[in-house]
Amino acid sequence: MAKLPILTAPDPRLKRKSAPVERVDDEVRWLMDDMLETMYAAPGIGLAAPQVGVLKRVIVLDIEREGTSTGPIRMANPEIVDVSDEDATSEEGCLSVPEHYSDVERPARVTVRYLDRDGESRDLACEGLLAKCVQHEIDHLDGVLFIDRISALKRNIILRKLVKARKEKEREAAEDDAAAAPRSRRKV
């Protein structure tokens, strides 16, 4: 397994629609395992393939650490096949929107149909944190971030802060590189 770099907003790859996998083969299983390792290391409780730059409809989840015990869940081509009339509002965050959180309203319960790691079709009834998480991850497959579900004003504030933070990081990295570069290789 390998840990993969996680893209952060406003990376344009996070806004694209992912393609269904044709079948769950070894390549897809390796992707699922790499995504789980990446998610645990982050640490996070859910991750979608486009967050690691792979535009395939694959998500992983594990909300065991939040008191309920799902264990690692691997899903290919997940789709919501049933939603509750009742909505629930709760705070969301995202590994691709680091250090920002906001309340998001979604259906309180959903049923998701997906292919498991053996390519078998399964239905899973989700509520609470699992329902929120699975909807959040499926949104990623359609190029939707949780900040797209909040007010434009809040979204723009968060995006501006993310761009600023990235620029600062790049500047620091460039300064480190310049300091580390051997004198003979410096351009004049």
The set of catalytic residues is 137
138 binds Ni ion per the rule CB under 5 A: no
Shortest spacing between CB 93 and Ni ion, in angstroms: 8
C-beta of residue 159 within 8 angstroms of C-beta of residue 96: no
Q: Can you spell out the DSSP letters for 111-135?
A: EEEEE-TTS-EEEEEEEHHHHHHHH
Q: How many residues bind Ni ion (CB under 5 A)?
A: 1
Rounded to whole angstroms, the Cα distance separating 181 from 175 reads 10
Could you tell me the two tokens for 89? 């509002």
- Please identify, among the stretches 57-65, 86-94, 120-128, 147-155, the one whose residues bind Ni ion according to the rule CB under 5 A: 86-94
Shortest spacing between CB 83 and Ni ion, in angstroms: 19
- Which residue's CB is nearer to Ni ion, number 7 or number 88? 7
Phi/psi class of residue 67: alpha, beta or left (left: φ > 0; alpha: ψ in -120 to 50)?
left
- Please identify, among the stretches 35-43, 88-96, 155-163, 173-181, the one whose residues bind Ni ion according to the rule CB under 5 A: 88-96
Q: What value does the CA radius of gyration of the chain take, rounded to a whole number of Å? A: 18
94 binds Ni ion per the rule CB under 5 A: yes
- Please identify, among the stretches 65-73, 87-95, 99-107, 179-187, the one whose residues bind Ni ion according to the rule CB under 5 A: 87-95
Question: Helices then strands (H, E): number in the chain?
Answer: 3, 7
Q: Which residues bind to Ni ion, rule: CB under 5 A?
A: 94
